């Protein structure tokens, strides 16, 4: 099997994935899962996603795909194309963490999705379409009820279908 190339994203029922450069919800279990899923991987992200992080995340590489040839940041490996991003990762497992444009660019190269379905229609300015069921099949789902003022959510793993 080829190395894991996994899209890691949380998406509201209405397609929202972000608002003003942040997540429009706070779900500690999702943040814990993100840390677990991305640990030890080469994370590929866009510049705005990198800027939204609280800092460099320990135990992960930060590969930033940007069109800006002059952009740089301490701890970021800067690349300018999807091919360059995947090459920079070498043989390491890859986590594609956003934003929507980066996910769309790299989705054809991914072999799995770790999706957090947030069961609400969120207010936000960044949206992403649902994953095409002709390309992706659900292999696991773990649903969590709303609690402590937080929305219900499901952790869903999708894998690329053999036909795709």
Domain assignment of residue 51, yes or no:
yes
In a domain, 97, yes or no: yes
If you ran DSSP here, which 8-state letter would residue 33 be given? H
Q: Reply yes or no on whether the pLDDT at 9 is more than 60.
A: yes
The Cα–Cα gap between 60 and 42 comes to 6
Burial 58-93 (b: 16+ CB within 10 A, else e): eebbbbbbbeeeeeeeeebbbbeebeebbebbeebe
52, 47, 31: which is closest to 102 by C-alpha?
47
Residue 29 main-chain phi, psi, to 5 deg: -65, -35
Inside any domain, residue 154: no
The reported pTM is 0.96
Please tell me the predicted confidence (pLDDT) of residue 59: 96
CATH classification of the domain holding 85: 3.40.430.10
Cis peptide before 97 (omega within 30 of 0): no
**Does 155 reside within a domain?**
no
pLDDT of residue 2: 76
Within-domain flag for 77: yes
**Distance between CA atoms of 75 and 56, rounded to whole angstroms?**
7
143 within domain boundaries: no
Q: Indicate the number of domains in the chain.
A: 1
> Residue 115 is part of which domain span?
5-138
63 and 50 in contact (C-beta within 8 Å)?
no
For 12-65, the pLDDT digits (tens) are 999 999 999 899 999 999 999 999 999 999 999 999 999 999 999 999 999 999
Let me know if residue 149 belongs to a domain. Answer: no
**pLDDT tens by residue, 85-97:** 999 999 999 999 9
- 130 has pLDDT over 60: yes
Residue 28 lies in a domain: yes
């Amino acid at each position: 099997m080829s190395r894991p190339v996994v899209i890691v994203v949380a998406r509201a029922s209405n397609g929202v994935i972000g608002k003003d450069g942040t997540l429009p919800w706070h779900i500690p279990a999702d943040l814990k899962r993100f840390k677990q899923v991305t640990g030890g991987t080469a994370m590929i992200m866009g510049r705005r996603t990198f800027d939204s992080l609280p800092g460099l995340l320990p135990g992960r590489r930060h590969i930033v795909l940007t069109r800006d040839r002059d952009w740089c940041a301490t701890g970021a490996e800067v690349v300018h194309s999807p091919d360059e991003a995947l090459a920079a990762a070498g043989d390491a497992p890859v986590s594609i963490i956003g934003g929507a444009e980066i996910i769309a660019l790299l989705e054809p190269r991914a072999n799995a999705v770790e999706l957090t379905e947030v069961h609400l229609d969120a207010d936000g300015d960044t949206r992403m379409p649902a994953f095409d069921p002709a390309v992706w099949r659900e292999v696991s789902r773990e649903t969590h009820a709303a609690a402590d003022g937080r929305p219900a959510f499901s952790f869903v793993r999708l894998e690329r279908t053999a036909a795709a």
